[in-house]
Each structure stands twice: as structure tokens, then as C-alpha cells.
């Protein structure tokens, strides 16, 4: 009993830090982290950055000096990654992850893609590690209290990325060349198709027609599909191609052949063909 009392007394006499470890206090960062991801065609774009606020300060030419390299955010350097090779304002950039720095100017900005992705701000930025520099034109914008990256315009072949803070917005264009890549894949797929495969040339032709590319090839693919198995689907696609080429009379005749091939389950498609015929007649 005396030993137990002595051990308890010794424990109570120890400093608090020796008995328990006080929990570490965590506080939120003033500039919160955001991750923006957008798919353009088949290419994923991911931007990771921290969002400082204006907080009543003069940003451009004040907090962010003109004509000096800026981290384009807060805390760690902003990063941008591309899952495929891209172009930035028309200039080639290999796929990968880059730190994104900028040099703001009153009338022109420099957008910098640096190969050292993980760095703190721009304090150790090395121009020798730049993968690409492009210029961009700033313009006025509605007030953005927090630094914002936005991708307002997206298509299969390109997207517009905009840096916004205060009353300034700076856009640049990311190109993916998706349509030409798919067209190349379509050529390979048609070349490798089996003799009785009418669907692959039809799919290839449909893609080309809907995107307005390789139309001569599309017509050959359609003829190939029709020769293998003439049906409502490939005949209607042929009619659409003829109409796009300005041959409305030919389009109407081919569309009527398509309707003649209709089966019991093709009611909706027949209605669509009839609507197209009416528009071509008018």
C-alpha cells in the first residue's frame, strides 16, 4: 500500500508535459485550397491553388507588383496538370504537371509553365526550368474578392482558362486537338474492320460528319457501310451528308430509301427522318 501511494505521489509531481502531450492547435489557412478539374475531349486539366482575398488591398501594382514573377496564388505554387500533350495559345506543351507562375503587366501578362511542380510560391523559381512561356491580354471583369481560376468555355478541341482576381481577368487557351486524334483513330479502325462490319465505318462517318471534318472520307465510309448492309441508319446518315453538301434532292431520295428500310421498332427514327425531309424541302 505504501508503494502504491508513493508511486501516485511521484506521478502527480511530474510536469504536465511529461504526463500527456497537449493536442496541437490547428487553424485554417487564410487562403483556402481549391482544386479545379475539367475534361476537354479526352484530356483532363487539373489546377490546384490557394485563394487569397482582396480584403480591401490594392492588388495589381500593389500587393502583386507589375513585371515581377508571381506565384499566381498563395502558399505553395499553383500547379496545373494535363493528361495529354496540349497547346497553350497555340504553342506545344507536353503532358505533365507544372507550377504555374505569371508576370502581371498593365497591358500584357506572361503565363509561365515551369517543370518544377512542387515548390513554395515563386521564391525558388528558376527560369531555366521553364517548359513554356506565353503572353496573354488582361481585361476588366466584375469584382472577384477571392482569386479564382475558371474554365467558362469548353469544347472537344479547346478550353479557355481564366485567372480572375479583383477587377482583372486574364484568359489563355488550352488546345487538345481531339477531333484530329479521333479522326486518325477512325481511319485505323475502318482499315482494321472485318469484311462484314458495317457499324465501324458508320460510326467513323457519323463522327466526321458531326464535326465537319474528313467529309470525303466520311462519304466513302458510308458507301462501305451501305454496301455491306443497307439499313435505315446508314442510309439516313448518307442523306444527312448529302444535305450538308448542298444536294437536297439527293438527300431526300436517300432519306426515303431509309424509311423504306424501317422496322417495327424504328418509329422514332422514321419521325426524325420525315422531319429532316420536310426541312430539306423547305
CA 256 – CA 277 distance, rounded (Å): 8
Instruction: Please list the residues that pair with 61 across neighbouring strands.
Output: none
Q: Rg of the chain over CA atoms, in angstroms?
A: 30
- E-strand ranges in the chain read 32-40, 43-51, 79-82, 86-88, 91-93, 96-103, 109-114, 130-136, 139-154, 158-175
Within a 13 Å sphere around the CA of 156, how many CA atoms are in the beta-carbon half? Answer: 10
pLDDT per residue as tens, the chain (282 positions): 445 444 444 444 545 454 567 788 887 787 788 899 999 999 999 999 999 999 999 999 999 999 999 999 998 899 999 999 999 999 999 999 999 999 999 999 999 999 999 999 889 999 999 999 999 999 999 999 999 999 999 999 999 999 999 999 999 999 999 999 999 999 999 999 999 999 999 999 999 999 988 899 999 999 999 999 999 999 999 999 999 999 999 999 999 999 999 999 989 999 999 999 999 998
Tell me if the pTM is above 0.85.
Answer: no
CA 245 – CA 247 distance, rounded (Å): 6
Amino acid at each position: 500500500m505504501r508503494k502504491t501511494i508513493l508511486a501516485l505521489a511521484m506521478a502527480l509531481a511530474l510536469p504536465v508535459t511529461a504526463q500527456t502531450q497537449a493536442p496541437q492547435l490547428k487553424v485554417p489557412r487564410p487562403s483556402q485550397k481549391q482544386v479545379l478539374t475539367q475534361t476537354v475531349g479526352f484530356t483532363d486539366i487539373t489546377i490546384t491553388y490557394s485563394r487569397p482575398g482582396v480584403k480591401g488591398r490594392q492588388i495589381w501594382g500593389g500587393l502583386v507588383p507589375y513585371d515581377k514573377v508571381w506565384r499566381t496564388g498563395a502558399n505553395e505554387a499553383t500547379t496545373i496538370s494535363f493528361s495529354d500533350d496540349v497547346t497553350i495559345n497555340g504553342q506545344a506543351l507536353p503532358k505533365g504537371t507544372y507550377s504555374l507562375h505569371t508576370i502581371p503587366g498593365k497591358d500584357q501578362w506572361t503565363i509561365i509553365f515551369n517543370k518544377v511542380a512542387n515548390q513554395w510560391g515563386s521564391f525558388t523559381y528558376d527560369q531555366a526550368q521553364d517548359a513554356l512561356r506565353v503572353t496573354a491580354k488582361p481585361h476588366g471583369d466584375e469584382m472577384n474578392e477571392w482569386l479564382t481560376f475558371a474554365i467558362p468555355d469548353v469544347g472537344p478541341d479547346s478550353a479557355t482558362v481564366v485567372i480572375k482576381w479583383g477587377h482583372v481577368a486574364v484568359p489563355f487557351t488550352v488546345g487538345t486537338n481531339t477531333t484530329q486524334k479521333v479522326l486518325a483513330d477512325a481511319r485505323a479502325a475502318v482499315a482494321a474492320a472485318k469484311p462484314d462490319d458495317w457499324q465501324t465505318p458508320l460510326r467513323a462517318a457519323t463522327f466526321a460528319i458531326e464535326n465537319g471534318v474528313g467529309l470525303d472520307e466520311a462519304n466513302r465510309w458510308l458507301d462501305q457501310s451501305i454496301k455491306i448492309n443497307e439499313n435505315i441508319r446508314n442510309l439516313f446518315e448518307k442523306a444527312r451528308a448529302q444535305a450538308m453538301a448542298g444536294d437536297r434532292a439527293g438527300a431526300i431520295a436517300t432519306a426515303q430509301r431509309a424509311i423504306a428500310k424501317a422496322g417495327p421498332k424504328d418509329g422514332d427514327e422514321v419521325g426524325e427522318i420525315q422531319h429532316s425531309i420536310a426541312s430539306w424541302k423547305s
